[in-house]
């Protein structure tokens, strides 16, 4: 008898209940979309911070060690990498390499002559492309000097999901700061 009463009182979903469920699903979707945007923000910020920190470290190593030290940023298979190279007896040796956590982002730099270059392993129409970005420091003062390609870097831009950070390089001191 209880079963028959239960089935009589069960009328299904009302239109209001269905609308409430749809609103809850929409809120979850909006939260997910916003979360993906925030992830891009974090990726660009952490990549820019890591480049600045490694740049300072390489500058100090260059000034304190006998060998020359260089920072190289390059792109390979859709990922960006930081590589520290040490010059021993006129030959460069890779000391360490680390992958930057920069998904769907780009790194570019501006030279002292005002040209902007995209660091990329593929050619892009209408864009100056460089296969690597190399930071070179003076042994005695630590200031930035022209790299092996004859380019003096003024700033580095890290972009991801329409968010960008500029790392300004102070030529006279070799220090870097993020805008």
User: Domain 2-178 is in which class?
Assistant: alpha beta
List the structure tokens of 5. 């009463």
Average of per-residue pLDDT across 26-45: 69
pTM for this entry: 0.75
Model confidence pLDDT, tens digit, residues 60-90:
999 998 888 999 999 988 889 999 999 988 8
Model confidence pLDDT, tens digit, residues 99-124:
988 878 899 999 999 999 999 888 87
Going from N- to C-terminal start, the domains of the chain cover: 2-178
Cα–Cα distance between 53 and 7 in angstroms, integer? 68
Burial of 160 (0-12, 13-18, 19+ CB in 10 A): buried
Q: Which comes out higher in pLDDT, residue 31 or 159?
A: 159
């Amino acid at each position: 008898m209880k079963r028959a009463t239960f089935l009589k009182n069960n009328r299904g979903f009302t239109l209001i209940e269905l609308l409430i469920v749809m609103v809850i699903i929409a809120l979850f979707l909006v939260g997910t979309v916003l979360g993906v945007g925030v992830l891009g923000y974090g990726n660009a910020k952490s990549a820019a911070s890591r480049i600045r920190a490694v740049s300072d470290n390489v500058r100090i190593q260059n000034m304190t060690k006998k060998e020359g030290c260089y920072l190289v940023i390059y792109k390979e298979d859709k990922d960006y990498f930081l590589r520290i190279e040490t010059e021993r007896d006129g030959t460069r040796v890779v000391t360490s390499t680390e992958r930057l956590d920069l998904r769907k982002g780009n790194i570019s730099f501006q030279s002292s002559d005002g040209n902007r270059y995209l660091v990329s392993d593929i050619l892009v129409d209408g864009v100056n492309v460089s296969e690597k970005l190399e930071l070179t420091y003076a042994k005695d003062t630590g200031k930035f000097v022209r790299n092996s390609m004859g380019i003096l870097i003024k700033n580095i831009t890290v972009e991801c999901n329409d968010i960008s950070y500029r790392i300004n390089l102070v030529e006279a001191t070799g220090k870097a700061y993020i805008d």
